[in-house]
Amino acid sequence: MTKYLGLDLGGTNIKVAVIEKIDNKWQVIKKDDQATEAEGGPAHVVSRLAKLAKDNLAEFPDLAGVGVAVPGVFNAKDGTIVLFPNLPGPWKGFQALAPVADAVKLPTALINDARAFTLAEAIMGAAHGKKTVACYVIGTGVGGGIVIDGKIHMGSTGGAGEIAHQIVKVDGPLCGCGSRGCAETLTNSAAIAKLAGTKTSEEAYKKAVAGDAQALAAFKEVGYWISIALTNVMVVLAPDTIIIGGGVAQSGDILLNEIRKEMAKQSNIYPESAINIVPATLGFYAGAIGAALNGAITAGAQLSLMSTT
């Protein structure tokens, strides 16, 4: 059976997944993680990615493609890094693709980690079998992605799907992207914790479950801002399913119910029955699984009955 490798580069860990299609269904046959050792700088980190790829090729000689999910913006034409906001070192302009491809001599591709997460959830997770899928992933930053007919939508810029960089509050807080009032600044884990008066968003969720008024108000406000962003997505794309990912989103329905309630209030252009918001299901390795699926696309595999690649 032909297999595909996914590597998900994070600030702390590199997650590894190997997938193959068995009886016309994609399955994960290996999961692993290794320390990123980000303090070693770009050359060291990329050499670790290359070694992991080579080691997995030795373990699975029938690997046919490799995907690498990265936490930022890259040049799709040449595989160099444009911006890695959460990894130390001089990453701008650094070549991250070629060393991995050279190590395995296989079709190899980069993908943004949020787009990889979206692809995984659309093909193998919470939105399996759906034609149009949108994803909103809450963490230190807020990632997003769009899948249409089984394929990740990249657009003319190669960077489509940044749902959280919609401006939802005119003259709002300054975002890391340079704009003001992006949904990310109002809905990331730091915003949740600040509104709830806690150190972390996970602590905020626990206090909300316990009935703490400030924490409940925090999730209500965050849900409101997310609902504006996702209402815009509904009007433009009308996705079958909207997936909410990230630690807090996996903790329960407090946030998801706020989003559903606010979107229902705004459902003038679309019917309320069209709102289908669900939590992500693949967990810690979703990015690596999505990277592997992107590696399969690069190698020419057909991901689903809907896709042509």
pLDDT digits (tens, 9 = 90+) for 266-281: 989 999 999 999 999 9
pLDDT digits (tens, 9 = 90+) for 151-208: 899 888 888 899 999 999 999 999 988 899 999 999 999 999 999 999 999 999 999 9
CATH 3.30.420.40, applies to 129-281: yes
Same topology, domains 3-116+284-298 and 129-281? Answer is: yes
Query: Are 115 and 161 in contact, with CB atoms under 8 Å apart?
Result: yes
CB half-sphere exposure, 244, CA atoms < 13 A: 27
Query: Are 30 and 18 in contact, with CB atoms under 8 Å apart?
Result: yes
Using a pLDDT cut of 70, give the percent of the chain over it. 98
DSSP 140-191: SSEEEEEEETTEE--TTTS-TT-GGGSB-STT-PBPTTS-BSBHHHHHSHHH
The secondary structure of residue 193, as a DSSP letter, is: H
Task: Supply the pLDDT for residue 304.
Answer: 62
**Domain range annotation of the chain:** 3-116+284-298, 129-281
Mean pLDDT of 13-39: 94
The band of 248, judged by pLDDT with boundaries at 50, 70 and 90, is confident
* Six-digit token string for 85: 């906001």
Task: Supply the pLDDT for residue 308.
Answer: 42
Task: Supply the pLDDT for residue 301.
Answer: 83
Q: Is pTM beyond 0.85 here?
A: yes
State the chain's mean pLDDT as an integer. Answer: 93
Q: What architecture (CATH level 2) is domain 3-116+284-298? A: 2-Layer Sandwich (3.30)
The number of beta carbons lying within 10 Å of the beta carbon of residue 252 is 13
Task: Supply the pLDDT for residue 148.
Answer: 93
The secondary structure of residue 96, as a DSSP letter, is: -
Task: Supply the pLDDT for residue 305.
Answer: 47
Q: Are strands 63-70 and 3-9 parallel, antiparallel or unpaired?
A: parallel
Tell me the three state secondary structure of residue 199. Answer: coil
